[in-house]
């Protein structure tokens, strides 16, 4: 009964596609950033929407994305 196995596999693929879409949407949504903080030698900005912090490069004048 390979049919049921393929159905599960297809479901996983759809879930992965959905997760990738969520990653894509989530990665783009950090639009409202706080001012730049420098504390204990670490420079970063905080997203006002979700509270996530991002390393900020003073040399590049932008957030460092991996």
Q: Which of residues 7-66 bind Zn ion (CB under 5 A)?
A: 30, 47, 49-50
As a whole number of Å, the end-to-end CA separation of the chain is 43
Least CB distance to Zn ion at residue 31 (A) = 8
Least CB distance to Zn ion at residue 47 (A) = 3
Of the pair 13, 32, the CB lying nearest Zn ion is at: 32
| Contacts with Zn ion, residue ranges (CB under 5 A) | 30, 47, 49-50
């Amino acid at each position: 009964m390979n049919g049921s196995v393929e159905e599960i596999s297809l479901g996983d693929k759809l879930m992965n596609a959905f997760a990738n879409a969520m990653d894509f949407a989530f990665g783009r949504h950090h639009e409202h950033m706080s001012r730049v903080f420098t504390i204990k030698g670490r420079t970063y900005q905080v997203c006002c929407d979700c509270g996530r912090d991002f390393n900020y490069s003073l040399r590049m004048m932008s957030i460092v994305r991996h």
